[in-house]
Amino acid sequence: MAQHGAGGPAGPPAGLRLVPLEGEERERALGILKESFVGIYRWHAKRTLQHADRVHALLLGEEVVAAALLHRLAPEVGYVYYIFVGKDHRRKGLAGFLLDDALAFFRTEGAQIIYAAAEVDNSPSIALFRSRGFREVAREEPGFREGGLGAWGLRSKMTLVSGEVLLGRRL
């Protein structure tokens, strides 16, 4: 069986278009963002929607049904800040598609390692990242430049909060 994220992604799921959102267009993702996050995460995801390097969205007609907020933390390090899918569109492979696309995107940009954060009790999110080869990164493990997955010097840029785990994988 082919490993998810091993090569470039196939085309978008049937009927959907993959587009980058720029500037004010990003506000089109606010509806599904509000469906997907509450409290401090919603506040932070809204900020990140404006500031992330890239927003890759899946459109059904003109409606944004899923989005990934992607950022470059260092020349060799990509970060998946948030992936979220509208409630009516979950469990159809959309987040998996966006994650495969993010891995392919970062690979073409020359990144060697990708991180993501997830709340410890957000099992759909952790299962999503695990399905694409991510694993939990321990605080004390050797840094990514020393052969481990440790994110030395980068954790502060990731705005991790208490109750979140750091996940990572090499490309």
Ligand X SMILES: CC(C)(COP(=O)(O)OP(=O)(O)OC[C@H]1O[C@@H](n2cnc3c(N)ncnc32)[C@H](O)[C@@H]1OP(=O)(O)O)[C@@H](O)C(=O)NCCC(=O)NCCS
Q: Which residue in the shown chain puts its C-beta closest to ligand X? A: 95
Beta strands 63-74 and 16-20 are unpaired
List phi, psi (to 5°) of 98. -65, -35
Report the distance separating Cα 137 and Cα 63, nearest Å.
Answer: 35
Residue 167 near ligand X by CB under 6 A:
no
Minimum CB distance to ligand X, residue 47 (Å): 14
Residues forming beta bridges with residue 135, ordered by sequence position = 168
Residue 58 near ligand X by CB under 6 A:
no
Nearest Cα residue to 166 out of 110, 107, 125, 106 = 125
What's the length of the chain?
171
Nearer CB in complex with ligand X: 21/118: 118
What is the rounded end-to-end Cα distance, in angstroms, of the chain? 19
Indicate which single residue of 5, 115, 125, 167 sits in contact with ligand X (rule: CB under 6 A): 125
Nearer CB in complex with ligand X: 68/143: 68
Residue 143 near ligand X by CB under 6 A:
no
Region from 21-29, 53-61, 127-135, 155-163 binding ligand X, contact rule CB under 6 A: 127-135
Indicate which single residue of 52, 64, 65, 83 sits in contact with ligand X (rule: CB under 6 A): 83
In sign, the C-alpha dihedral spanning 121, 123, 127, 128 is: negative
Report the distance separating Cα 17 and Cα 5, nearest Å.
Answer: 19
Residue 85 near ligand X by CB under 6 A:
yes
Nearer CB in complex with ligand X: 29/125: 125
Residue 118 near ligand X by CB under 6 A:
yes
Q: Do 2 and 96 contact (CB within 8 A), yes or no? A: no
Indicate which single residue of 21, 48, 78, 84 sits in contact with ligand X (rule: CB under 6 A): 84
Nearer CB in complex with ligand X: 18/143: 18
Q: Enumerate binding residues for ligand X (CB under 6 A).
A: 36, 82-85, 90-96, 118, 122-125, 127-128, 131
